Amino acid sequence: MCGIVGYIGKRQAYPIIIKGLQRLEYRGYDSAGIALINAKGDLNVFKRKGKVTELIEFSKDLEKEGTIGIGHTRWATHGEPNDVNSHPHYSQTKNLVLIHNGIIENYSSIKEGLIKRGHQFLSQTDTEVLAHLIEDIQIHEKCKLSVAVIAALNQVIGAYAIVVMDKNDPDVLVAAKKGSPMVIGIGDDDYFIASDASPIVEYTKNVVYLEEEEVAILRRGEKLKIKNLKDKEITPYVQKLTIELESIEKGGYAHFMLKEIYEQPRSVLDSMRGRLNPAKGEIKLGGVEDHIKKFEKAKRIIFVACGTSWHAGLVAEYLFEELARIPVEVEYASEFRYRNPIIYAEDIVIAISQSGETADTLAAIAMAKSKGATVLGICNVVGSSIARATDGGSYTHAGPEIGVASTKAFTAQVTVLTLMALEMAKVRGTLSESRFRQLLYEVEAVPTKIEEVLKLNDKLKEIAYTYKDSTNALYLGRGVSFPVALEGALKLKEISYIHAEGYPAAEMKHGPIALIDEEMPVFVIATKGANYEKVVSNIQEVKARKGKIIAVVTSGDKEVKELADICIEIPETDELLVPLIAVVPLQLLSYHIAVMRGCNVDQPRNLAKSVTVE
């Protein structure tokens, strides 16, 4: 939610910041802005509603010189997306500029105080208030910028990742974070700041992830200085970045989403690599090893997550209950955190998050911890806030996911959750050795089966063409395929803006059936398994009302083929593993429909990849 970039060094800042903003655009893209101080000491600020390309176009003929600068791409919270509300924001004298990711909750009381002291505000944002407050302190206390930033942040309630630049001191950037991510790249004679490592990886692999309530002072020619909000100096912990530049580029694909869909055989494999040994009947999840004993005694598992990650949690509910015979609850993190839920010390709470930064999921973790539960995390982004806030867990190793609609992160999450469920089943002795091994072999075969599904792309494109003008769509599934129906519907609505609903196939009778007519495509996951005949009956019910059935079936299926308008055949697998394979054609269908409708697939309207506000 909002991307921030900063640079100070010997190179020209503008191209570095612009490229960085484009890499961070998945975090927000309703407006963008940049501020630079040139060699003469002038502070130039350009801001524009719209995407970074619009900012580039706007600044085409303007002076963009400067070896220090900050940039921002916005996802609006306070104040509509327009030029004025775009960041960077000025202080009262216009000597300071500030970019911000997060929400300053007490901004209106601070603003009132500043207005009484004569401050005038241009925007409706909470961010501008912070820029004014910092300068107000700087002037009244006659202190350095970093001291004023620390003093101001001590007054602030909320979440922030900020970078501040001072026209009167063009050799320093001051950055700080609480609740929103921030990475600092350390070059040979320069510093980079960004919301994630993607704008930095091209220039340096040495990074410092700022911790909560830390302030970084990046001064030209000096070592990186980090302080906490009590003004105590902290030794920076420099880490080596493991991501490669290629992993954050499109690599010949038209969109990141398509690339990420196609990466799934690899990302699923990477998520199980070194963790699974069917021949020996072993599973090894390093990050949960220390908690294995708790697996044995646990009375309940609670998954907390948002969006697609919540759907992965729903799949996990079936897996853990079926395999490890343990009660499971799956909670929207945003509901859980405000519900005063009953949590026992013997509960295991598992947070699922691609970004590892989702504000509601982080808050749910904090609540679960305060009640004494063991909290594990399943995250994709290494070193993310959720990865650090949890007692243990497993990374998904899907690689950077940039398309706002989550695809490979989902299958990677389900892969890791499957391994975790199997490991728990082993520890709790709820599976026979032969069933355990059979499942391990089946899991191992999933990447090859996804590859088979990807070969259906041309057929899926044709289906997409047939249904691209629909206004509604229904997705049905039963058992472990019900969350797949939810995920299929979410993919379609978020990128193509077609209204779509996912439903348990049998529940359709209690409402959605009223919507069915000859215009309505109904996507049904009707693979072989215990519920097959029941789903066939549900298909009959749709056909009787002239609905169009597009069914995902097991290769070689005959019964559904006779009923459905179109069948998408996927390779056979164990019933419990169907979500990993059946979701792939639904992702591709949504992708093609969105492209055919002229939608911005990677950056759908109003959405952001990483939701760091509650």
Closest approach, Cβ 309 to ligand G6P, in A, equals: 4
Nearer Cβ to ligand G6P, position 387 or 464?
387
Closest CA to 72 of 1, 123, 176: 1
Closest CA to 418 of 384, 442, 397: 442
Closest approach, Cβ 494 to ligand G6P, in A, equals: 7
Nearer Cβ to ligand G6P, position 494 or 569?
494
Residue owning tokens 């241009």: 122
Taking the C-alpha atoms of residue 280 and residue 288, their distance in angstroms, rounded to an integer, is 20
Under a CB-based contact definition with an 8 Å cutoff, are residues 508 and 541 in contact?
Answer: yes
Closest approach, Cβ 611 to ligand G6P, in A, equals: 5
Q: Where are the beta strands (DSSP E) in 108-238?
A: 158-166, 172-178, 183-186, 191-194, 206-209, 214-219, 225-228, 233-234
**Which residue among 2, 306, 379, 567 is the active-site one?**
2
Closest approach, Cβ 445 to ligand G6P, in A, equals: 26
**Which residue among 47, 49, 227, 609 is the active-site one?**
609
What interhelical angle do 433-454 and 408-428 show, nearest 10? Answer: 170
Chain residues that interact with ligand G6P, rule: CB under 6 A: 306-309, 353-355, 358, 361, 404, 406, 607, 609-611
Nearer Cβ to ligand G6P, position 392 or 521?
392
Under a CB-based contact definition with an 8 Å cutoff, are residues 157 and 64 in contact?
Answer: no
One-letter amino acid at 358 equals: T
Under a CB-based contact definition with an 8 Å cutoff, are residues 545 and 516 in contact?
Answer: yes
Closest approach, Cβ 257 to ligand G6P, in A, equals: 11
Taking the C-alpha atoms of residue 596 and residue 600, their distance in angstroms, rounded to an integer, is 10
Nearer Cβ to ligand G6P, position 406 or 411?
406
Task: Please count the other Cβ atoms lying within 10 Å of the Cβ belonging to residue 533.
Answer: 9
Under a CB-based contact definition with an 8 Å cutoff, are residues 254 and 595 in contact?
Answer: yes
Nearer Cβ to ligand G6P, position 127 or 358?
358
Closest approach, Cβ 1 to ligand G6P, in A, equals: 9
Nearer Cβ to ligand G6P, position 59 or 353?
353
The sheet carrying 172-178 orders its strands as: 89-90, 96-104, 158-166, 172-178, 214-219, 225-228, 233-234
Alpha helices in 244-291 (DSSP H): 256-262, 264-272
Nearer Cβ to ligand G6P, position 403 or 529?
403
Under a CB-based contact definition with an 8 Å cutoff, are residues 153 and 176 in contact?
Answer: yes
One-letter amino acid at 78 equals: H
Closest approach, Cβ 201 to ligand G6P, in A, equals: 20
Nearer Cβ to ligand G6P, position 494 or 575?
494
Nearer Cβ to ligand G6P, position 84 or 607?
607
Q: Are strands 172-178 and 158-166 parallel, antiparallel or unpaired?
A: antiparallel
Closest CA to 609 of 71, 52, 259, 195: 195
Please tell me whether residue 244 adopts helix, strand or coil conformation.
coil
Closest approach, Cβ 308 to ligand G6P, in A, equals: 3
One-letter amino acid at 451 equals: E
Residue owning tokens 């973790």: 365
C-alpha distance from residue 539 to each of 378, 435, 508, 564 (Å): 36, 31, 10, 8
Q: Is 49 a catalytic residue?
A: no
Q: Which residue is nearest to ligand G6P (CB)?
A: 307
Taking the C-alpha atoms of residue 385 and residue 355, their distance in angstroms, rounded to an integer, is 9
Residue owning tokens 């500029």: 97
Question: Which tokens hold the place of 59?
Answer: 């600044």
Residue owning tokens 């939608």: 599
Closest approach, Cβ 361 to ligand G6P, in A, equals: 5
Q: Which residues are catalytic?
A: 2, 609
